[in-house]
Amino acid sequence: MVPGAPSFASKLIPDFFKLKHYVSKHSFADGNSMLGTGKYSDGKAAYEGKRIYLPKPGDFLGTAAQVKEILGGKGAGLAEMTDLKLPVPPAAITPTSECENYYNAGKIMDGALREHVRGAIAEIEKQTGKKFFDYEGSGDILLISVRSGAKISMPGMMETVLNIGLNEKRVEQMIDGGMDARFVCDVYRRHLQYFGSVVLEAGTIVENGENVSLFERALSAKREMQGVRTDAELSVASLRELISEFKQIIKEAGKEVPQDPFEQAMAAVEAVFRSSYGEKAMKYKEKNSLPPEMPTAVIIQAMVFGNLNAKSGSGVFFTREKNTGEKCIYSDYLPNAQGEEVVSGVRTPVTFKSLKECPFDRKIGRQLFRIADRLEKHYRDMLDIEYTIENGRLNMLQVRTGKRSGKAAFKIACDLVDEKMITEKEAVKRITTDNVLSVLLPQIGSEEKGGCKADAKGVPASAGAGCGIVVFNAKKAAKIADDALAAGKKPPAMMFVGKFTKPEDYSGMIAAGKSGGGVLTAEGGPTSHAAVVCGGNGIPAVVGCRDLRIDIANSRAFINGKEVKEGDFVTIDGSTGEVFARKLALVPPELTSDFKRVIGWANSIAQLPVMANADTPSQARQAVELGAKGIGLCRTEHMFNDKSRIGIVQEMFLAETLEARQGFIDQLLPMQRKDFGGIFSEMTGKPVTIRLLDPPMHEFLPDLVKLERAQAGRDAEGKADAAQDALLERVRALHEENPMLGVRGVRLLYLHPEILDMQVKAIIEGALDAAEQGSKPVVKIMVPVVEVPELFAWARERIDKVAADTLAGRGATLDYKVGTMIEIPSACLSAGEMARHADFFSFGTNDLTQTGLGLSRDDTALYIARLVSDGRLAHDPFKTLHPDIAKLVAMTVRDGKAANPHLEIGICGEQGVDPLSIRKYLYNAGLDSVSGTPMRVPLAIIAGAQLELEGNGIAR
Scan residues 872-931 and list those touching its own copies (CB under 8 A): 872-873, 882-885, 887-888
> Cα dihedral sign for 354, 356, 359, 363?
positive
CA pair distance 240, 676, nearest whole angstrom: 82
Q: How far is the CB of 940 from its own copies (least distance, A)?
A: 24
Judged by beta carbon, residue 276 or residue 830, the one nearer its own copies is 830
Q: How near is the Cβ of 15 to its own copies at its closest, in Å?
A: 10
Q: How far is the CB of 939 from its own copies (least distance, A)?
A: 26
Segment contacting its own copies by CB under 8 A, of 63-71, 409-417, 759-767, 792-800:
792-800
Closer residue to its own copies in complex, CB, 278/739: 739
SS3 of residue 41 by DSSP: coil
Task: Spell out the SS3 assignment of 116-155.
Answer: HHHHHHHHHHHHHCCECCCCCCCCCECCEEEEEECCCCCC
Name which of 421, 466, 459 is nearest 442 in CA terms: 466
Least distance between its own copies and beta carbon 20 (Å): 9
Nearer to its own copies, 436 or 867 (CB): 867
Helix (H) or strand (E) run with residue 887 in it: helix 883-899
Residues 423-482 that bind its own copies (CB under 8 A): none
Backbone angles phi, psi at 298, to 5 degrees: -125, 130
Which of 176, 201, 260, 859 binds its own copies (CB under 8 A)? It is 859
**Where does 153-254 show beta strands of DSSP type E?**
161-164, 204-207, 210-213
Please say which residue, 166 or 922, places its beta carbon nearer to its own copies.
922
* Per-position x/- string for 485-504, each x denoting binding to its own copies as judged by CB under 8 A, each - no binding: -----------------xxx
Cβ–Cβ < 8 Å for 923, 954: yes
Q: Between residues 645 and 698, which has the closer beta carbon with respect to its own copies? A: 698
Considering only the stretches 181-189, 435-443, 817-825, 904-912, report the one whose residues sit in contact with its own copies under the rule CB under 8 A. 817-825
Check: CB of residue 339 under 8 Å from CB of residue 363: no
What span, in angstroms and rounded, lies between the C-alpha atoms of 385 and 342?
13
14, 38, 178, 854: residue in contact with its own copies (rule CB under 8 A): 854
Q: Which stretch binds its own copies (CB under 8 A): 153-161, 578-586, 669-677, 786-794?
A: 786-794
- Is residue 532 within 8 A of residue 504, CB to CB? The reply is no
Residue range at the interface with its own copies (CB under 8 A); choices 25-33, 682-690, 826-834, 927-935: 826-834
Q: Does 852 bind its own copies (CB under 8 A)?
A: yes
By beta-carbon proximity to its own copies, the closer residue of 752 and 936 is: 752
- Of the listed pieces 78-86, 348-356, 591-599, 823-831, which binds its own copies according to CB under 8 A? 823-831
6 belongs to the binding site for its own copies (CB under 8 A):
no
3-state secondary structure of 537: helix
Spatial CA neighbour of 611 closest among 883, 303, 944: 944
Residue 134 C-beta: closest distance to its own copies, Å: 58
**Torsion on CA atoms 425, 427, 433, 437, rounded to nearest 10:** -130
Find the shortest distance in angstroms from Cβ 800 to its own copies: 9
How many other C-beta atoms lie within 10 A of the C-beta of residue 447? 10
Is 908 annotated as catalytic?
Answer: yes
Sites for its own copies among residues 679-738 (CB under 8 A): 704-705, 708-717, 729, 732-733, 736-738
Three-state secondary-structure class, residue 498 = strand
351, 790, 950, 952: which one contacts its own copies (CB under 8 A)?
Answer: 790
Tell which positions 356-395 bind its own copies, by CB under 8 A. Answer: none
CA distances for 819 relative to 378, 645, 832, angstroms: 53, 27, 13
Helix/strand/coil for 572: strand
Q: Render 670-716 in DSSP notation, one character per residue.
A: HHHHHHHHHHHHHTTTSEEEEEPP-S-GGGGSPPHHHHHHHHHHHHH
- 252 touches its own copies (CB under 8 A): no
Distance in angstroms (rounded) separating the CA atoms of residues 78 and 75:
5
d(CA 103, CA 120): 22
CB of 738 to its own copies, least distance (A): 4
Subset of residues 200 to 229 that bind its own copies, contact rule: CB under 8 A: none
Q: Which of 529, 752, 837, 882 is catalytic?
A: 529
Helix (H, G, I), strand (E, B) or coil at 291: coil
**Nearest-angstrom CA–CA distance, 802 and 870:** 53
Taking residue 762's Cβ as centre, other Cβ atoms within 10 Å add up to: 24
CB of 1 to its own copies, least distance (A): 5
Interacting residue with its own copies among 233, 453, 567, 863 (CB under 8 A):
863
Q: Which of 181, 655, 853, 899 binds its own copies (CB under 8 A)?
A: 853
**Minimum distance between the CB of residue 730 and its own copies, rounded to whole angstroms?**
9
Q: From residue 47 to residue 86, what is the string marking binding to its own copies with x (rule CB under 8 A)?
A: ----------------------------------------
Q: Which region among 269-277, 530-538, 632-640, 827-835 touches its own copies (by CB under 8 A)?
A: 827-835
Give CA 782 to chain center in angstroms.
Answer: 34
Total residues in contact with its own copies, by rule CB under 8 A: 73
Q: Which stretch binds its own copies (CB under 8 A): 78-86, 216-224, 455-463, 847-855?
A: 847-855
DSSP code at position 403 = P
What would you measure as the largest C-alpha separation in the chain, in angstroms? 108
Distance CA 522, CA 355 (A): 45
Question: CB of 400 within 8 A of CB of 151?
Answer: no
Residue 852 beta carbon to its own copies: minimum distance, rounded to whole angstroms: 5
Beta carbon of residue 881, minimum distance to its own copies (angstroms, whole number): 12
Check if the beta carbon of residue 723 is closer than 8 Å to that of residue 714: no
Q: Which is nearer to its own copies, 659 or 717 (CB)?
A: 717
Give the residue, chosen from 788, 807, 814, 899, that forms a contact with its own copies under the rule CB under 8 A.
788
* Per-residue DSSP letter, 901: T
Does position 136 interact with its own copies (CB under 8 A)? The reply is no
Interface with its own copies (CB under 8 A), residue from 462, 527, 851, 911: 851
How big is the CA angle at 714 (ends 708 and 717), to the nearest 5 degrees? Answer: 145
Contacting residue, 7, 354, 826, 952, with its own copies by CB under 8 A: 826
Site for its own copies in 17-36 (CB under 8 A): 17
- Minimum CB distance to its own copies smaller for 368 or for 474: 474
Angstrom distance (rounded) from CA 430 to CA 382: 12
Q: Which stretch binds its own copies (CB under 8 A): 35-43, 227-235, 322-330, 863-871?
A: 863-871
Query: Is 158 in a helix, a strand, or coil?
Result: coil
3-state secondary structure of 894: helix
Interatomic CA distance for residues 556 and 781, integer angstroms: 55
- Scanning 198-206, 519-527, 824-832, 897-905 for contacts with its own copies by CB under 8 A, the matching segment is 824-832
**How far, in Å, are 354, 498, 708, 939 from residue 689 at the CA level?**
55, 43, 39, 21
Q: Is 860 in the site for its own copies (CB under 8 A)?
A: yes
- Beta-strand pair 610-613/929-932: parallel
Binding mask 274-313 for its own copies (x = CB under 8 A): ----------------------------------------
Question: Of the two residues 681 and 711, which places its CB atom closer to its own copies in the complex?
Answer: 711
Q: Are 98 and 113 in contact (CB under 8 A)?
A: yes
Instruction: Please pick, from the candidates 794, 841, 843, 923, the single residue that binds its own copies as defined by CB under 8 A.
Output: 794
Q: Which of residues 740-759 bind its own copies (CB under 8 A)?
A: 740-743, 747, 750-751
Compute the least distance from the CB of residue 487 to its own copies, in Å.
23
Residues carrying an active site annotation? 529, 908
